[in-house]
Structure 1
Amino acid sequence: MTTGSETAHTIVTAAILVIGDEILSGRTKDKNIGYIAEYCTAIGIDVREVRIVPDVEDEIITAVRALSERHDHVFSTGGIGPTHDDITADAMAKAFGVTIDHDPRAVAILTTHYGEANLNEARMRMARIPAGADLIDNPVSKAPGFTIRNVHVMAGVPVIMQAMLDAVTATISTGAKMLSATVPASMGEGRIAAGLGALQKDFPDVSIGSYPKMLDGGFATDIVLRSRDQSRLDLAVRAVEGLIASLLVQRS
């Protein structure tokens, strides 16, 4: 894989790790998973797995180790703020067996932002970075995230996370982009299901999914096709269009 660029025919995978009791309790509605997944799809990274874990050190450690081993990238959100329950940084350090301390680079950033006189104990917690980690720029509130191994640790606040994600993805490996096309069908899934199943066998390299909806008071279906090969995608689209046309003739 190359860094910061797209590599033809390379599949790069990722997982999303959301950390926070407030997400699991429902008090805070997650807005990061969908954003990260859509963002990754656009730049050629396949999100294969999502986990949400509480603010419990052992569970964070278990999750990050498993996801880091399975995927090229792990995008983690939440738990790097100034309060006592923000334990993500310490958990990441333990997960990779490194020490954690106030990072001079992070301290300098916070000193510039807050002023030395205003750097209280709580704010200094945000300067604690695992040894060997690279900082992730935070242009919104300045307190940095960090990358350790292949895990990118970002804030949970959506506007801050989004800015950090821009910084991260400018420097990491990506792969061949997934292409997609949508074919509308003015009929329910049940009528088209058998034909789509047969076409899927003809195009094993193209993902074919059906999504029902209501249209003008009746059932309709959107057929979504996905492939990294434009020529194969085009062939599959034409095959689905032909299937729909034949079913419409049978119905008339």
Structure 2
Amino acid sequence: MVAPVTAALLIIGDEILTGRTKDRNIGYIAEYLTGIGVDLCEVRIVPDVEAEIVAAVNALRTRYTYLFTTGGIGPTHDDITADSVARAFGVAIDVDPRAVAMLRERYQPGDLNEARLRMARIPAGADLIENVVSKAPGFRIDNVFVMAGVPAIMQSMLDTIAPTLKTGARLIAETIEAEGLPEGIYAGGLSEIALAHPLVSIGSYPSFSATGFRNQIVVRGKDAEAVAKAVSAVHDLLRRLKGDGAPI
């Protein structure tokens, strides 16, 4: 079996924690990584406080195959992610000529003021991540990828990063409609199926639709045979509970 490849995501920014900015990156990154065979195992959100960023980076980069960060690499005083990552790795940080060259594709030399040059400050030993949208690069140091918080820029950076990543087996997910059955009726049986099929995870997700209340059961796993067996067991459970033998 292919060894799992794991990841964590660190969202950086006071604006996320105060609610001023509504995060649009977590769901996108989770779906993207799942699709290429990387398991997103943890997400943290921290404020623009160096000590908090350093602690989170050092905790997460040692726990998972990869750590992705978003936010805090712009031109203002509170954009401190690059400095914090440098401190976490114990390396120097300075204006990087490679990053300056990228910024010059967008800005005239006279427009590259001190604030904009902050976006060219890169920790020593880091590789740059191209930014085709606004030219200010992200960077990779060891297993940590530092990306912009602006969704369109983050997405372009993720496209650049993806071909360089190790990947594992892709997740298989099967959705089963629990038509007409509330969770409280099938919960006990579903727990028994989950215990009997340890190679998969099984979740139940209620929601409201245009036609009323709806329950969906999702079986997830990386072994196709294990997923198929668990799905069959769920179908059997629902048929028994419906008591009419009708197709589910």
Cα deviation for residue 250 of structure 1 reads 6.8
Amino acid at match of 2:193: L
Aligned to 1:245: 239
Tell me how far apart the structure 2 counterparts of residues 243 and 47 of structure 1 sit (CA, whole Å).
Answer: 31
- Superposed structure 1 runs of 4+ greater than 3 Å apart: 214-220
Number of the residue aligned with 1:184: 177
- Which of 115, 123, 128 lines up with 1:130 in the alignment? 123
**1:99 equivalenced with 2:92 (yes/no):** yes
Q: Contact 1:189 / 1:220 at 8 angstroms: preserved in 2?
A: no
Equivalent position SS for 1:47 = strand
CA distance in 2, matches of 1:227, 1:54: 34
3-state secondary structure, aligned to 1:211: strand
Aligned mate of 1:25, from 18, 22, 27 = 18
TM-score after normalising by structure 1: 0.93
Contact 2:134 2:153 in 1 (8 A): yes
Is 2:166 aligned against 1:173?
A: yes
Contact 1:12 1:72 in 2 (8 A): yes
In 2: Cα distance, 1:67 partner to 1:250 partner: 51
Match of residue 75 from structure 1: 68
Equivalenced residues, count: 245
Paired position in structure 2 for 1:161 = 154
> Any idea what SS the aligned residue of 1:241 has?
helix
Give me the whole-angstrom Cα distance separating, in 2, the residues matched to 1:212 and 1:118. 53
Aligned mates of 2:229, 2:126 — CA distance in 1? 46
**RMSD of aligned Cα (Å):** 1.6
Fraction of identical pairs, as percent: 59
- What amino acid does structure 2 have at the position aligned with 1:73? Y
Instruction: Say if 1:15 and 1:120 are closer, same or farther in 2 by CA, change over 3 A.
Output: same
1:213 and 1:112 mapped to 2: Cα distance?
48
Who is 1:207 aligned against? 201
Q: List runs of 5+ in structure 2 lacking aligned partners.
A: none
Answer with 136-145 or 215-224: which moved more: 215-224
| Cα 1:74–1:237 shift into 2, 3 Å | same
Higher relative contact order (CA 8 A, sep 6+): 1
Residue 225 of structure 1: which of 204, 219, 225 is its match? Answer: 219
C-alpha deviation, 1:104, in angstroms: 1.2
User: Which residue pairs with 1:41 in the alignment?
Assistant: 34
Structure 1: which 5+ residue stretches go unaligned? 1-7
Q: CA deviation at 1:220?
A: 3.6
Aligned to 1:152: 145
